[in-house]
Amino acid sequence: MMVEKLIDVKDVALKNNCPECFSKDGLRLTFRQKIKETKFYKSITSDISYEMNCNNCNSIIYPVQWTDDIDLVFEYQKKAFTPKRASTYIKKTSWIVIASSVLIIALILFLLFYLNL
C-alpha cells in the first residue's frame, strides 16, 4: 500500500494585506513537497505545492484572490525556495528481500555446478 503525503518544507510569514480581512499580520505562505512511502522504499518527489492562508480570518487565499503585491512576493519566495532533492531510500525490508534472493540464486547455481561434476 502506497502512502502519499505532503511535508512542509518552508513556511513564510508575509507582510501583505489579506484579501479577505485586510489584516497585515497573519498571512502565511507554505511550500510542501510530496513523499511516497511503501513497505519497500521511501521516495521524495520533485512535486511541489504551495498554500497561502490567513491566520487572522482562518481562510485559504487562492491565487484568484491574490493582489499584484502578493503575486510579486510569491514569485520572489518561489525563486528563493530550494526544495529537498528528489531521491529514493530503500528500506530494511527491501534489503532483506534482495539479500535472500541473492543467497537463493547462489545456492541454486552452486548446486547445479556441484551436481554436474
Q: Which of 53, 57, 77 is nearest to 65 (CA)?
A: 53
- For residue range 40-53, what is the model confidence (pLDDT) as tens digits? 999 999 899 999 99
Residue type at position 82? T
Entry pTM: 0.73
For residue 93, what is the enclosing H or E element? helix 92-116
What percent of the chain stands above pLDDT 90? 41
19: cell is 484579501
pLDDT in the model for residue 117: 61
Report, as ranges of residue numbers, the positions in the chain whose pLDDT lies below 50: none
pLDDT in the model for residue 19: 86
pLDDT in the model for residue 18: 87
pLDDT in the model for residue 112: 87
Q: What is the chain's length?
A: 117
